[in-house]
Amino acid sequence: MTMKVGILGSGVVGQALGRGFASRGNEVMIGSRTPESDKLKTWMEKTGKMASTGTFAQAAAYGSTLVLATLGSAAEEAIDLAGLPNFRGKLVIDATNPLDFSKGMPPGLFVGTTDSLGERIQRRLPEAKVVKCFNIVGNSQMVDPTYEGVEMMICGNDKTAKEEVTRILKEFGWKGVIDVGGIEGARWLEALVPLWVRVGIALNNWNNVFRVLHE
């Protein structure tokens, strides 16, 4: 089953997931304010014929499945640029984090524990099916992770959308998912990220993932 995937975000996450989707036979368009940038030209050359770039609005209109991979503080601005009707009825995989670097490294969060960026995005896109996913792993581990048997923690309100994300993750080499519930679970998935950064600093290594051991 192949699909058209629109990725909003031209950073390392958008590029890694774009390569991942294209490598599984899907057509991918990365959306950016500067779709002609050198970094996106390089990404297209490396990714091959399944890859294209466009504006945020073009990528959002193009994809039957969408990925949100912008700077967390710009996520809502990027959604507005993409055009709210382009999200209607679609799965939106939300990889963003509300990281606050105003006090330097390591970061805090600009949304507290009574709300989350995932919930803000779902509220802005009430007719889309937002699933929080990929936000707690480094971009190098998102596709073809080097560790075996790891489950991705996800959340979202729509059961079918989460089943589709589970299918995609298995294609990408993940064992499966741990579904922590509705989109309000994003409060806790996002809160894990400042911890993940601190672990990366302590280990001096960013190729680490949280793995839940269970029967």
Ligand X SMILES: NC(=O)c1ccc[n+]([C@@H]2O[C@H](COP(=O)([O-])OP(=O)(O)OC[C@H]3O[C@@H](n4cnc5c(N)ncnc54)[C@H](OP(=O)(O)O)[C@@H]3O)[C@@H](O)[C@H]2O)c1
CB burial of 5-43 (b: ≥16 within 10 Å; e: otherwise) equals: bbbbbbeebbbbbbbbbbbbebbbbbbbeebeeeebeeb
- Least separation in angstroms between residue 66's CB and ligand X is 13
Nearer to ligand X, 45 or 215 (CB): 45
Least distance from ligand X to the Cβ atom of residue 109, Å: 11
CB nearer to ligand X: give 54 or 182: 54
- 95 versus 169: smaller Cβ distance to ligand X: 95
Q: How far is the CB of 71 from ligand X (least distance, A)?
A: 4
Give the interface with ligand X as residue ranges (CB under 6 A). 9-14, 32-34, 69-72, 74, 77-78, 95-97, 99, 134-135, 138-139
Whose Cβ is closer to ligand X: residue 14's or residue 156's? Answer: 14
C-alpha–C-alpha distance, residues 11 and 192, integer Å: 21
The residue assigned the tokens 């995005």 is: 121
The dihedral through the CA atoms of 168, 213, 114, 208 has a sign that is negative
Alpha-carbon separation of residue 178 from 42, 91, 104, 116, 189 (angstroms): 35, 18, 32, 19, 11
Q: Give the 3-state secondary structure of residue 92.
A: strand
Residue sitting closest to ligand X (CB): 11
Q: How far is the CB of 214 from ligand X (least distance, A)?
A: 23
Residues 6+ apart with CB under 8 A from 86: 57, 60, 61
To ligand X, the closest distance from the beta carbon of 156 in angstroms equals 16
Q: Which is nearer to ligand X, 7 or 161 (CB)?
A: 7
